[in-house]
Chain A
């Protein structure tokens, strides 16, 4: 009986509300017009039943108390709005008249809302006083009302995440199907931008460069970083000095790195000149001026800058390995290199994943290094996708083309990331 009254009450209120909304948006069928009042009357009966059942109101320290009070406050506010629309009140307060239209819009709502809110408050009071039945928070209440402060605190984060990542990304993808030039427009041209993109030589060169750079960068920075860390882990002297030296390039910006290496690899000043001065007159070393080699020149600078950081990550991982594992392996007679490959590296999987993600992100967005070192030259031999996007969006004033290129970059990231995430998180259950 009590259960029925509770459920009936809640359903009547909800349906009355729905019916009322339908009426206000214009569906003024006779059934719908009368329905809210009938339903509210039913809800009233249910509320009375609940109160009778509860025999008195004992609501102190009840989680429903504040909900009920809140609804009463809402009812008072609604009544206040209704009052503002009354001629007598407006006559007493001339300032209100200037907003008369607004008050008049509120008037019919306000009275109904006040009645509804009071009824909700009564019902909640009734439910709250029962010692059984609704004493467990339901799904809605758990979602929105339990542990409210934490949820409120999470709202900005949620908005940022949705706003920045989802909406901006969606906006970019959307406009990649338009012929936006200097300003974004909504004139759809289907896949034209993509067709143009994939028939542009510069983009194709960029992709090829990114592939070479990316694969080499991944392999070499992981291998070199790990080897350096492993050497560093041999309890060498002056470890902190070496660590600082290796990490130092990481503190430089890509622009500085790019300029330094541009200078070092320029024939007139850098390595070639030094070697020629030593007496090897025919020595030639000009990677930045050779279309086939230029990307490796950039790779070299990137490795110089990035491996120190990978090394530090790896070193932290190595330090996290229980020393007794090493001892056990030595007692078992496992040579050191085998211990690294078969025991230590598998144990460092999380560190490798972290390093991989950081390196991969660096690869996809490589831009400033190229700009500083070669500006994409000679010709277009060292172009990269990020530079293509930037140049078209802000230099070529061809937003649509830039958006299409960046969408392609996003797709390529997802192609890598989704299988990885699936393996990493989907496979967890198999453990």
Chain B
């Protein structure tokens, strides 16, 4: 079901955590709220769940205004970072407790528990207590607890953050499968951009209680709306060079980058940043690039297996780019690099917005 958040404000005493927030989440969409820790993601999710009283604004779920509705009546299920299982109940008890409380008849309860257990492959664990489960299994049970509620909207608050890297990757894929299988609306909070990019239909990037950009992973990656988003998304992160836009050229020190292929969103001139992703820098075997070609000296080499991150200096600033992991590069080498202006991003110097 669709969720829409209109002019949402939330204050903790004098501290404004969310400021006039608006999001429309479509039915069946997987929306990821991404942002650095402390930016208000969990606060927003708790508002949607009804666990926090909003200071101003409305929340609609499937067109119904639920701003002042109890969490259990909103048709949501929620999964937490710490799993929040009831420790003295078995897995089955955890799944059933809410249903029993809502007086769901026994057959119906058993049917739902069986279905959730099957989907999440936790049937053999039903008689165990949470203490006897691994982190991954606990999180499955927590997801199961949301699943048996038979709700339309799932809320996840950093569900994978307490797991180790391997499990996280596995469970990520399973969440994606789950979304395909159930077709529910899912709102997912994380600070991990890999999770966001891999899972999301759309990502909302938050900073200080404001949404910076809301768009598909591709849009956010290729056309970040401001310098913060550009810097936040991408690993290794984007290179920024400071300079001046003059017509269709970007001048930084003695270096001039030709911007004739850059897709300007606005007429622009004056001080600016240019951002170039390390993986978009061309090396070896390229010809005729519209932008810049330069010869640089390698200062540090960081092999990462599949790729190698090479550090150099360009126009007096540190500059990184990726080369194939099989390529032989060593410190002190001279390399020919090319920058394709059509894949770069330009940001106004003072507003830091994309131009």
Residues of A that sit less than 8 Å from B by CB: 322, 324-325, 327-335, 338, 342-343, 346-347, 431
CB contact under 8 A between A331 and B97, given known A322-B82, A343-B86:
no
B80 at the interface (CB under 8 A from A): yes
Q: A331 to B49, Cβ gap below 8 A?
A: yes
CB-contact partner of A333 in B70, B82, B86, under 8 A: B70
How long is the Cα–Cα vector from A338 to B97 in the complex, in angstroms? 11
Cα(A330)–Cα(B84), bound, Å:
12
A331–B86 contact, CB under 8 A? no
20 pairs of residues in contact across A and B, judged by CB atoms under 8 Å: A324-B81, A324-B83, A327-B84, A328-B80, A328-B84, A330-B51, A330-B70, A330-B72, A331-B71, A332-B97, A332-B145, A332-B149, A333-B71, A335-B101, A338-B101, A342-B86, A342-B97, A343-B86, A346-B87, A346-B88
**Distance between Cα atoms of A333 and B50 in the complex (Å):** 12
Residues of B close to A342: CB separation below 8 A: 86, 97
Q: How far is the CA of A104 from the CA of B97 in the complex (A)?
A: 85
Inside 8 A of A332's CB, which chain B residues have their CB? 72, 97-98, 101, 145, 149
Complex partner residue of B97 from A334, A335, A346, CB under 8 angstroms: A334
Least Cβ distance of A75 to chain B in Å?
58
Please indicate the chain A residues that have their CB under 8 angstroms from the CB of B71 in the complex.
Answer: 327, 330-331, 333
Nearest CB of chain A from residue B102's CB, rounded to whole Å: 6
B250 to chain A, nearest CB (A): 48
Q: Which of B73, B76, B82 has the most CB of A within 10 A?
A: B82
Q: How far is the CA of A325 from the CA of B72 in the complex (A)?
A: 14
Minimum distance in angstroms from B145 CB to a CB of chain A: 7
B146-165 near A? 1/0 per residue, CB < 8 Å = 00010000000000000000
Number of interface residues of B (CB under 8 A): 29
| Complex alpha-carbon distance, A327 and B83, angstroms | 11
Q: Is the CB of A327 within 8 A of B97?
A: no
- Alpha-carbon gap, A333 to B72, bound state (A): 5
Known: A347-B87, A347-B88. A327 touches B80 (CB 8 A): yes
Which B83-139 residues sit within 8 Å CB-CB of chain A?
Answer: 83-88, 97-98, 101-102, 131-132
User: Using Cβ atoms and an 8 Å threshold, which residues of chain A touch B98?
Assistant: 331-334
Of the candidates B72, B82, B87, B132, the one whose C-beta lies within 8 Å of that of A331 is B72
Which residue of chain A has its CB nearest to the CB of B99?
A332
Q: Can you list, as one digit per residue, whether each of B239-279 has a CB less than 8 Å from chain A (1) or not (0)?
A: 00000000000000000000000000000000000000000
Q: How far apart sit A346 and B85, CA to CA, in the bound complex (Å)?
A: 13
User: How many angstroms between the C-alpha atoms of A431 and B82 in the bound complex?
Assistant: 22
**Cα distance, A328 to B131, chains bound together (Å):** 18
Nearest Cβ in chain B — how far from A55, in angstroms? 52
* Max count, chain B CB within 10 A of own CB: residue among A328, A331, A332, A346: A331
Q: Is B40 an interface residue (CB 8 A)?
A: no
Q: How far is the CB of B348 from chain A (nearest CB, A)?
A: 41
Smallest Cβ distance from B80 to chain A, in angstroms? 4
| Residues in B neighbouring A431, C-beta threshold 8 A | 131-132
Min distance, Cβ B142 to any Cβ of chain A, angstroms: 8
Given A327-B49, A327-B51, A328-B78; A334-B84 close (CB under 8 Å) = no
Q: What's the nearest-Cβ distance from chain B to residue A218, in Å?
A: 22
CA distance A85 to B61 in the complex (A): 103
Residue of B nearest to A334 (CB): B101
Question: Inside 8 A of A324's CB, which chain B residues have their CB?
Answer: 80-84
Top 9 A-B residue pairs of the complex, sorted by shortest distance between their CB atoms = A333-B72, A332-B98, A324-B84, A328-B84, A324-B80, A346-B88, A331-B78, A331-B71, A330-B71
The residues of B that contact A343 with a CB separation of less than 8 Å are 86, 88
Contact residues in A for B77 (Cβ distance below 8 Å): 331
A327's nearest neighbour on chain B, judged by CB, is B51
Q: How many whole Å from B185's CB to the nearest CB in chain A?
A: 16
Residue of A nearest to B157 (CB): A324
Check B102 against A333 for contact (C-beta < 8 Å): yes
B212 to chain A, nearest CB (A): 27
**Which B residues are in CB contact (< 8 Å) with A328?**
78, 80, 84-86, 142, 145
